[in-house]
Structure 1
Amino acid sequence: MSSISSVIKSIQDIMRKDAGIDGDAQRLGQLSWLLFLKVFDAQEEELEFEQDNYRCPIPERFLWRNWAADSEGLTGDALLDFVNNDLFDSLKNQPANIDLNPRGYVVKEAFSDAFNYMKNGTLLKQVINKLNEIDFTDSSERHLFGDIYEQILRDLQSAGNSGEFYTPRAVTRFMVNRIDPKLGERIMDPACGTGGFLACAFDHVKAHYVETAADHQTLQQQIMGVEKKQLPHLLCTTNMLLHGIEVPVQIRHGNTLDKPLSSWDSDIDVILSNPPFGGTEEDGIEQNFPADLRTRETADLFLQLIIEVLKKGGRAAVVLPDGTLFGEGVKTKIKQLLTSECNLHTIVRLPNGVFAPYTGIKTNILFFTKGQPTKDVWFYEHPYPAGVKSYSKTKPMKFEEFEAEIAWWGDEADGFAARVENEQAWKIDFAAEQAAAQQQAAPLLLQATERQAQVEALASAINALKDQQKAAVAKALTPLRNKRTKLAANSCADQAQMAQLELRIIEAQQTAAAPFEADIATQQLQQQQLQQEIRQLNQQANAITDAIYNLDRKNPHVGEQISHDPDELLVRYAAEQKEIKTLRDQLKAILSDALGKGAVKQEGQA
């Protein structure tokens, strides 16, 4: 039998000859539904052998063995007609209920948006015959195919595809290793892609905690994922079948962000995820989130969702870009939410090129546990191994590189007491920074509160003046209005006399109101000046307290490194401009205060 890798290569070469397939994405889309049906049928054979009176969840004529296994079977136009007009149409529209026929439902979901791109039935038959060289009922061959499948999934990725990038296997394994999901814990990836984290978590639990057939059934039920796009969803479902999940109905095809955040239950034990970053959601999705945390940036929305769905004591490991660490505005508010509701105990800073060649964006792994606020944050700067200056598609990161982190890690139960600082690791006392920032901002907030009290006192004084003004005007106008009423009642009244009376009313109103206008205007101006000062004081206080949420902390054990990355330079420039504006506002407030006191002094002397 040919090696599996050569079979896959031959299939790709055959597909390149077909006029209906344009590019790698369509080749992978074509291969994905074929692989799904072949893997599904191999699993069906096992279930038929293991279970008495087993019933096929789809019409039997659509099982791989009944239309594709015979190398001399359907081909050419007859094969195309069967696939396009019978197989696809029937599998998409079969009445499979998720409760009554869950495996049938999985097939229906998998084919909901699948498509046969090939237009040449003879070439399609050649692809099918090549796939038949792989025996998925052979456990050793299936395990070997699992490695090849990883390569297929890597080939799916391309830079700039809505911020979606294949997570290197080494990173996935490290995150699962440190989170250590247990048997019975609900494990979720809300942006599961092709299922790398879920497959790795499944393997981890199976290797460390599964001992009986009942344990294996428990494991099958505890894996959950959601994927927005059809092709990755189909690949993920196939991935779960390959790993032995018989009914992967928990792998849902949809957008996790498309329902209100408040409607989610907080019942997830473990989240492992690399949500899309750099991309944005369609209009309206942000309305599902709290007003002060709304954004269209996908990664920011997913981080909020992850915090929400974790149960108390739930653990998460999430890949996020540097932009999340140093970002301001809504990003700061999300980090405030994260550090108040969760213990963000560790940030592993990954080196450049981990996601090469798909993106050069610098990334981090955030480890946190829900239920307690953050006190200390440990940083670990993952170095390149000796002799390596960058990663590439042919020379990716290896799991063994994380051995130093694993040895250093310690135990969350004792607050990571065994951890020590070294060239790669350092700690910040986040709670102390928070307290210091609040203490530094307190005088500014106190001044703002005092000025607010002055604003409210002025508002009361202005209202009192307006009431006095209203009473004075009413007193002045009452006799004139009475006279007008009498004059209007007289049918013989002189129109000129009436017009003259109206002018007297207007003049009397202005005369009565005038003594109050200057005082009202003066106090309104004072009120506006105080409100401006309050805004400036609050801005200064917020700048102080927000600064601690810049988690882009540099390694203190190495010298300052000069970055030439345009994105980092732009962020640094924006931060410097903001600092200049803050200083300018402070100077304006000081000058305004000094000038105001000088004017008051001159009035007193006068």
Structure 2
Amino acid sequence: MLTGEVRNKIDKIWSDLWAGGITNPITVIEQLTYLMFIRSLDEKDLETERFEAVSGETLPKIFPTDDAGQAMRWSKFKTKDARDIFAIVSDKVFPFIKTMNGENTSAFTRYMQDALFLIPTPQVLQKIITGLDELYEHDIHDLDMQGDLYEYMLGKLATAGQNGQFRTPKHIRDMMVRLLAPTPDDRICDPACGTAGFLVSSAEYIRDNYEPTMTAEQWDHFAGEMFTGFDMDRTMLRLSTMNLMLHSITHPHIDYVDSVSKQNSITAAYDLILANPPFTGTVDAESIHDNLKAVTDTKKTELLFVALFLRMLRKGGRCACIVPDGVLFGSTKAHKALRKELVENHQLQAVISMPSGVFKPYAGVSTAVLVFAKTGAGGTDKVWFYDMKADGFSLDDKRSPIEANDIPDLLARFHNLQGEADRQPTEQSFLVDKAAIEANGYDLSINRYKEVEYEKVVYDPPAVIMDRLDKQNLEIAAKMEELRGLIGE
């Protein structure tokens, strides 16, 4: 976790960029990302040089070994005069990283072709480089710290995109990852990856639970093929590849793809899908892949993406995805068709209703998490419903930490569903038979099945209440007389 001191240092760097005229949070993060990447390249060359000194081998380097190439390294230019730093970074280093595209480079470089260096003055650049170097030298000791730093910066993206996409809070992503419990052999995909938060949370879970026992083959899989993400925003792709790189995932499969369009024909490829797809967007009907329309004939992205997840999962693969509440009870033919597909043709395992403040300050939309497995042959017997009332943070725009938190209870109950068999619909979680869901037109809203217990209140007879009122009036009159006597004196 980042200390308050580290947060203050990041805020100072942010303020320097803001004062320099860069006020869009995404642009701020982009510019910082480029500088963090430039520094990481120098770190890799330093690591290679240390290995060469021990082994006596000569290994390939990232930066050219001539004087001009070496001058582009962070460790060489960071202490120079501000104007010299600005000239080196803007005229030499930035063009260099934009053209890096060899086989052994990061996926990050694939999305650098249209990147722009926007830091306005030598003084602002020098302040940022000094600030970042201070952070790395004194505060950031490992990959977890780098990841936390980046997560803190991404947390400043407090606006939703025009299609309704927004960053999923880390504790909600971590909860969804724990619901699916990925293993080192899984292939994991987020077809609407944004800043790759779900992939990063999956990577953290695997490292926390399997790191000591992972084989060389599993580590190779972890660094590359395990993680796939698609997005239609090249800025997000740059941020996501940087985010993954900071978590040891150097060659993820991150692509510019309109996931629900005809350009994406991926079928039965992934073991796990974790996603928070765009909610309010609609897409051109002509571009939607035909096999998605066969499941749910609509232009609504929130429905199309769930159909897409079913298609992209291999048989037996599982998904945890966030959907707006309307997906659960919408009355259109497309809504009903999608819910029927999940219940009848696959295994719908859980519907977790989340409080409406989870996505504040972006939006107050009510959402739920769907957990399902692709079977192609049914398998839904009972569906588990959970009414999450608190997630450990206040449900206002501030989202301050609080004690109330249902997530640990939720995870414990989900991973012990046999223990839920006797729970009643009046409780916070309960199981619902498939037959009941079918009888309710495949409505998946928790309020359709949850029962509220009303306590009977017994009131005194009217005559008793009237006597009580008379007594109180007499007491009031006596006090008033006493008060008048005091005033008269």
Structure 1 length normalisation: TM-score?
Answer: 0.65
Equivalent positions of 1:150-169 (< 5 A) are 150-159=151-160, 161-169=162-170
Contact 1:190 1:226 in 2 (8 A): yes
User: Cα gap change, 1:157/1:383 in structure 2, threshold over 3 Å: closer, same or farther?
Assistant: same
Amino acid at match of 1:257: V
Name whichever of 150-159 and 402-411 sits farther off.
402-411
Distance in 2 between residues matched to 1:400 and 1:558, nearest whole Å: 21
CA contact (8 A) 2:343 2:434 kept: no
Distance 1:136 1:244, change over 3 A: farther
| 1:12-53 superposed Cα distances (whole Å, 9 cap, x missing partner) | 12112224x243232222222222322343345345545854
> Residues of 1 paired with 2:112 and 2:347: CA distance?
41
Alignment partner, residue 362 of structure 1: 366
| Secondary structure of residue in 2 paired with 1:140 | coil
User: Does 2:395 correspond to 1:390?
Assistant: yes
- Tell me what 1:380 maps to: 386
TM-score normalised by L of structure 2: 0.79
CA distance in 1, matches of 2:402, 2:191: 25
**Bigger radius of gyration, 1 or 2?**
1
Structure ranking higher in helix proportion: 1
Is the 2:70–2:76 Cα contact (8 Å) retained in structure 1? no
The residue number in structure 2 matching 1:147 is 148
1:558 deviates by: 2.3
Q: Which residue of 1 aligns with 2:251?
A: 248
Residues 229, 253 of structure 2: 8 Å contact kept = yes
Question: Residues 411 and 404 from structure 1, CA distance in 2 versus in 1: closer, same or farther, beyond 3 angstroms?
Answer: closer
Displacement after TM superposition at 1:409 (Å): 1.9
The answer to whether the 8 Å contact 1:257/1:288 transfers is no
Question: Matched residue of 2:430: which SS?
Answer: strand
Residue 195 of structure 1 contacts residue 240 of structure 1 at CA under 8 Å; is this kept in 2?
Answer: yes
Task: Tell me if the contact between 2:17 and 2:28 (Cα under 8 Å) persists in the aligned partners.
Answer: yes
Report the equivalent of 1:317.
Answer: 320
Q: CA deviation at 1:217?
A: 2.6
Q: Partner residue of 2:484?
A: none
* 1:460-475 pair list within 5 angstroms: none
Q: 1:551 aligns with which of 444, 452, 455?
A: 444
Cα distance change on mapping 1:179 and 1:433 into 2, 3 Å:
closer
Q: 1:55, CA displacement in angstroms?
A: 1.8
Instruction: Provide Cα deviations, 1:337-396, integer angstroms capped at 9, x if missing partner.
Output: 22233211101100120111111000101111111422321110012379x873444415
Distance 1:398 1:90, change over 3 A: farther
Give the conservation status (yes or no) of the 8 Å contact 2:77–2:85. Answer: no
Match of 2:287 in 1: 285
Does the C-alpha gap of structure 1 residues 231 and 148 become closer, same or farther in structure 2, counting only changes over 3 Å? same
Tell me what 2:99 maps to: 93
Deviation for aligned residue 1:130: 1.3
Alpha-carbon deviations, 1:129-176, whole Å to 9, x = none?
Answer: 211112279873543343232221111241454212221222111111
**One-letter amino acid matched to 1:320:** V
Residue 150 and residue 165 in structure 1: after superposition, are their counterparts in 2 closer, same or farther (change >3 A)? same
Q: Given that residues 411 and 417 in structure 1 are in contact (C-alpha distance below 8 angstroms), is that contact kept between their aligned partners in structure 2? A: yes
2:350 aligns to what SS in structure 1? Answer: strand
**CA deviation profile, 1:181-205 (whole Å, cap 9, x unmatched):** 0111111111111121111111111
CA 1:411–1:259 in 2, change beyond 3 Å: closer, same or farther? Answer: farther
Q: Distance in 1 between matches of 2:285 and 2:38?
A: 36
Q: Supply the distance in 2 between the matched residues of 1:3 and 1:64 (Cα, whole angstroms).
A: 32
**What residue in structure 1 maps to residue 184 of structure 2?**
183
Matching of residue 196 in structure 1 with residue 197 in structure 2 = yes
CA RMSD of aligned residues (A): 3.2
Q: Residue 9 of structure 2 corresponds to which residue in structure 1?
A: 7
Query: In structure 2, do the counterparts of structure 1 residues 420 and 218 end up closer, same or farther at CA, with 3 Å as the change threshold?
Result: farther
Unaligned runs of 5+ in 2: 455-489
- Within-5 A mapping of 1:585-604: none
Aligned residues of 1:224 and 1:251 also touching (Cα < 8 A): yes
Asked if the contact 1:269–1:310 (Cα under 8 Å) also holds between the matched residues in 2, the reply is: yes
Q: SS where residue 132 of structure 1 aligns?
A: helix
In structure 2, relative to structure 1, the CA distance for the partners of 1:323 and 1:244 (3 Å cut) is same
Does 1:66 find its partner at 2:67? no
Structure 1, unaligned stretches of length 5 or more?
438-546, 561-606
Report the Cα distance in structure 1 between the residues aligned to 2:171 and 2:404, rounded to whole angstroms.
Answer: 4
Q: Is the 8 A contact 1:18 1:120 kept in 2?
A: yes
Q: Residue 37 of structure 1 corresponds to which residue in structure 2?
A: 38
C-alpha contact 1:357 1:393 (8 A) present in aligned 2: yes
Higher alpha-carbon deviation: 174-183 or 31-40: 31-40
Distance 2:64 2:340 in 1: 53
Q: Which residue of 2 aligns with 1:457?
A: none
Q: In structure 2, how many angstroms separate the alpha carbons of the residues matched to 1:243 and 1:399? A: 30
Structure 1 residue 16 corresponds to structure 2 residue 21? no
Q: What code does the residue aligned with 1:552 have?
A: S
Matches within 5 A, 1:60-459: 66-67=73-74, 70-73=77-80, 75-76=82-83, 79-94=85-100, 96-97=101-102, 101-103=103-105, 106-135=107-136, 140-159=141-160, 161-210=162-211, 211-212=213-214, 214=216, 215-221=218-224, 222-245=226-249, 247-260=250-263, 263-281=265-283, 284-287=286-289, 289-292=291-294, 293-327=296-330, 328-371=332-375, 372-373=377-378, 374-384=380-390, 390-395=395-400, 401-411=406-416, 416=418, 418-422=420-424, 423-431=427-435, 433-434=437-438
Q: Is the 8 A contact 1:350 1:362 kept in 2?
A: yes
For the residues of structure 2 that align with 1:419 and 1:50, how far apart are their CA atoms? 58
On the 8 A contact 1:181/1:270 being kept in 2, the answer is: yes
Equivalent-residue separation in structure 2 for 1:291 and 1:401 (angstroms): 37
